[in-house]
Each structure stands twice: as structure tokens, then as C-alpha cells.
Chains A and B, each alone.
Chain A
Amino acid sequence: MIRSQFRIRWIALGIAVVLVAFTVVLAVQTRSQPSVPRLVLEHASAPQLNLKTLDGKAVTSAQLRSKTYVVNFFNSWCIPCQQETPALKTFYDQHKSEGDFAMLGIIIDDDAPTMRGYVRDRGIGWPVLVDPKGSAALDYGTTGQPETYVVAPDGVVVCGTLGPSSVAELNTWLAAARAGQQCT
């Protein structure tokens, strides 16, 4: 009888230890928000693009072949997007004359008429693409806006960030992409 009582106590103790361990594991499982896009981490190829600009011109991946290009997802109502725009403008002005360089803005969760006004008011000079079905955003696996991706001439997404980027970051990423380097 005493032996069986001891056995039950040991079993209860074992179950308690397992439960405590499980609770601790769950408690320390923090969902940290990544700042580097998954495509960059996986050194993945850039998704195919087949969209139209606000002016109705078609833009495809084929036109971007052998170029180093920057893709920026943004919209008019997102405050970090608005804060990021001056840096993007400075960066674009620095490189727009370079033949192997391209920059694209892709609208995420906003309508074309509003975006036309926003682009005009902010003096955005790079092509802004309409993504009415959100397919480009899904293909890139966006989790918000702004998000920026830098694609190397071989079509691999080498650098980028979730959230606003600075001129210095953009220049570093462009140099890395041209040098065939990954940012991660």
C-alpha cells in the first residue's frame, strides 16, 4: 500500500514537471517581429511582376531583367510611408540616371485616384504600380507597409526591410546588390 502511494506520488510529480516545463516553453516563445523580409532571408528570386502604372503603362519583370531594382510597397494613408518618402526621393534622385538602376512603387491597400493625388503632391518621380488584386503584395509576402526590397541583376532579392528605410540603408543595399552580395 505504501509502495503504491509512493508510485502515485512519483507519477503525479512527473506529470507536474512535464506541465511546468510545457508552460515555461510556451511562456518563452516570444513572437518577435522580424525586420528583414522573408524573401531576403531565404535569398529567394523576386516574384514575377505584371502590373500597370498609375498612367496605365505595363511593367513586367522582363523589362527589369539584368537591372538592380528597388521595389517599395506603400500607400497614401500610412504615416511611416509618408515619413519615408523624402528618403526615397533623395535616393531616387541620386541614381535615376544610372542605366542599370530602376525603382518601383507598388500601391498596397489604396485606390488609384487617391494615389494619383498623393504622387503628384509629393513629387514622386518613380513609376508607381497599381496592384488592385493585391497579388504582388501576396507574392512578396508583405506584412504591412512600407516594405522595401532590393533585387540584384540575377533576380534574387538580396536586401530589404519591413518598415521605413533611410538613404544610407538604400545606398548600402544597392551597392551590395551590384556587388553580388547578400545583406543577410
Chain B
Amino acid sequence: MHVIDDDRATMTRRKLVPWLALALVVAVGIVVLAVRSRPDNSPAARAARLEQQLACPVCEGQSVADSNSPQSRAIRDDIPRRIAAGQSDADIRQYYVSRYTERILETPSNSGLGIIAWGLPALAVILGALSIVVAVRRWSRAPRLEATDEDEDIVRRAREETDGGERHPDDAHPDDGLPDDSSPDHEAPGDENGP
């Protein structure tokens, strides 16, 4: 009894190992992501980040950081002054939005058409996950193939050929004239004398 309990405990531990490993990997990944995504809040890093987040107001497809237009240069000069004056990143962004509208933001807004830009990837992920769930459930529900009499005949004949005529009692067919285990004539060894 103790042996069986020990075996069960070992099996349970073995089943848990992959899950524990997975949990460990996920936990380490989350910690690394959390540490790596913590922004550097030095003035220079904030200025560089804001320059990337703002679009050049007079060019197409360039950020303030990349553009050499007068307006972009003025913004690059202006951002450190605003940071030194104690303005938050949101305040600074808002100032430029008030001057150049939301088109100056490199990230789409969370209203109007901007919702599509934010929502489409999320919708794609959800639809993809749902598709996988539906597909897996459909595959798992698919009926297993059942052997027909014809299939069993094919298997039986193949076995006859490979076994050279020796048959297992289970292979007995009602029409093949072989002795059947279930017939009353059949006696198990040691049963000669009866009860």
C-alpha cells in the first residue's frame, strides 16, 4: 500500500514539474519585462523620448527627432526648457497638441479613427485565439474511425498469412470452422475433473 502511495506521489510530482517550469519561465519573463520597461526618467532620456513621440509638424512621416525642419529644431530646443521648468511629459505633449493638433502625436489617438489602429491588432489576436479554440474543439470532437466487418476481414487474412495458420482464439470467426473459446466444449486447463 505504501509502495502504491509513493508511486502516485512520484507521478504527481512528475506531472507538476513541467507546469512549475512553465510558471517559472513566465514569472522570470514578467520580471524581466517589468524591469526593462521601466523608463529612464533623466531629463535627457525624457527629451529623447518626447522627440520620438512627436511628429514633425511640417513634414510627412518624420518624427521631431529625425527632422531638420525649423519647427522640429525649435521643438527640440523647446523640450529641454519645458522639462527644466518642471513640466511633465503629458503637459509637454499637450502643449504641442494645443499648437499643432493631435496630428503631432506619433501614437494614434484613442478616439475616432485612432480606435481602429488600437483595436485592430487586439481584435486580430482575439479572433486568432477563438479560431484556435474552435479548431481544437472540432478536431477533438471528430468521430474516431470504426473498423467495419470488411476491415476486420482484411486484418484477419493478413494475420493468417503472417502467422502461418496459427490463430489467436480471439481471431476466431463464426464461419471459419475453428474452435471457439466461448463454446461449451472448450475447457480451461485443470478443469477436467469439474467442481
- Distance in Å from the Cβ of A121 to the closest Cβ of chain B? 22
**B77 touches A (CB below 8 Å):** yes
How many residues from A make CB contacts under 8 Å with B? 18
B113 touches A133 (CB 8 A): no
Among the 9-residue stretches B31-39, B41-49, B67-75, B166-174, the one with 4 or more Cβ atoms under 8 Å from chain A is B67-75
Main secondary structure of the interface of A (DSSP, over half): loop
Digit string of A132-153 for contact with B (CB within 8 Å is 1, else 0)? 0111011111111000000000
Digit string of B70-100 for contact with A (CB within 8 Å is 1, else 0)? 1101110110010000000000000010011
**With contact pairs A139-B99, A143-B57 given, residues A133 and B77 touching in the complex (Cβ less than 8 Å):** yes
CB nearest neighbor in B for A108: B70
Docked pose: A141 CA to B73 CA in angstroms? 14
Q: Which residues in B have their C-beta under 8 angstroms from that of A143?
A: 57-58, 71, 100
Q: Which residues in B have their C-beta under 8 angstroms from that of A109?
A: 70, 73
Contact residues on B (Cβ < 8 Å of other chain), bracket: 10 to 19
Q: Among residues 121 to 173 in chain A, which have CB atoms less than 8 Å away from a CB atom of chain B?
A: 133-135, 137-144
Q: Which residues in A have their C-beta under 8 angstroms from that of B120?
A: 22
Q: Which residue, B73, B74, B81, B96, has most C-beta atoms of chain A within 10 A?
A: B74
**A62 touches B (CB below 8 Å):** no
- Distance in Å from the Cβ of A118 to the closest Cβ of chain B? 16
**With contact pairs A22-B116, A38-B101, A139-B99 given, residues A144 and B74 touching in the complex (Cβ less than 8 Å):** no
Q: Which residues in B have their C-beta under 8 angstroms from that of A134?
A: 70-71, 73-74, 77-78
- Distance in Å from the Cβ of B144 to the closest Cβ of chain A? 17
A138 touches B99 (CB 8 A): yes
- Distance in Å from the Cβ of B141 to the closest Cβ of chain A? 12
Q: What are 6 A-B pairs at a CB distance below 8 A?
A: A133-B81, A135-B78, A138-B74, A138-B99, A139-B99, A143-B58
Residues of chain A touching chain B, judged by Cβ–Cβ distance below 8 Å, are 22, 25, 29, 31, 38, 108-109, 133-135, 137-144
Residues of chain B touching chain A, judged by Cβ–Cβ distance below 8 Å, are 57-58, 60, 70-71, 73-75, 77-78, 81, 96, 99-101, 113, 116, 120
